Chain A
Amino acid sequence: DAGVIQSPRHEVTEMGQEVTLRCKPISGHDYLFWYRQTMMRGLELLIYFNNNVPIDDSGMPEDRFSAKMPNASFSTLKIQPSEPRDSAVYFCASSLAGQGRTYGYTFGSGTRLTVV
């Protein structure tokens, strides 16, 4: 099992540009989570999906952030336009319902976003 795969690993972009982060969950997992990690705020849940449907997006900071899950094997987190305060590490995690809390949530290696 390749685990949760995120791309790119690093992204440097200029303020005002659109940024798209990508995530491939573990095959068979039906929950997908997006987290943001910063020094000031720690790890924050942004949004999560169940069977490709967004369940809770209350953690999405602003309308500039949007997330999609067009199918069970792919999700994107988009920031448009990006701002320097969006600089953070963005993690994707996946889980299997019912067993999700038995085996924990599997995290990807993260995307380090720097907006200059």
Chain B
Amino acid sequence: AQSVTQLDSQVPVFEEAPVELRCNYSSSVSVYLFWYVQYPNQGLQLLLKYLSGSTLVKGINGFEAEFNKSQTSFHLRKPSVHISDTAEYFCAVTLSGGGADGLTFGKGTHLIIQP
């Protein structure tokens, strides 16, 4: 079975500063990786995904993530955050291959943007 660890439950950062949200996964087989964002009282919105190919993945809202197989990490980054980025961010993993299995989520990281 696979698992996801989000190392920080909460990350405060000043507006226009860069941010990195950390995610490590554990799996004995190949996986696909995702980052989702959840704004207050809303559902989960896909930010970006890694399936194969380039290890640097660009997503919506200026976010990007880098897949590092040797370190089993998939950290999320943004060079300059905005107040509107305040939300809960979830890293998720699923097995690669055909069909669709359920996602296994990390506990989430609350990104707090300070003016």
Contacts and interface: CB of A to CB of B under 8 A. Distances in A.
A4 B32 CA distance: 22
B34 interface: yes
Q: How large is the interface on B (under 10, 10 to 19, 20 to 34, 35 or more residues)?
A: 20 to 34
A103 B99 CA distance: 13
Judged by DSSP, the binding face of B is: loop
B100 A97 contact: yes
Nearest to A106: B46
Contacts of B43: 4, 91, 107-110
Interface residues of A, number: 28
Contacts of B34: 104-105
B83 interface: no
A103 B102 CA distance: 14
Given A104-B49, A109-B42, A45 B102 contact: yes
Given A48-B101, A93-B103, 13 more contacts: A33-B102, A35-B102, A50-B100, A56-B101, A91-B43, A91-B44, A96-B100, A97-B98, A101-B51, A102-B51, A107-B43, A109-B43, A110-B43
29 contacts: A35-B102, A42-B106, A43-B90, A43-B103, A48-B102, A50-B100, A91-B44, A95-B100, A96-B100, A97-B98, A97-B99, A97-B100, A98-B98, A98-B99, A100-B100, A101-B32, A101-B94, A101-B96, A101-B100, A102-B51, A103-B46, A104-B34, A104-B46, A104-B49, A105-B34, A107-B44, A107-B45, A108-B43, A109-B42
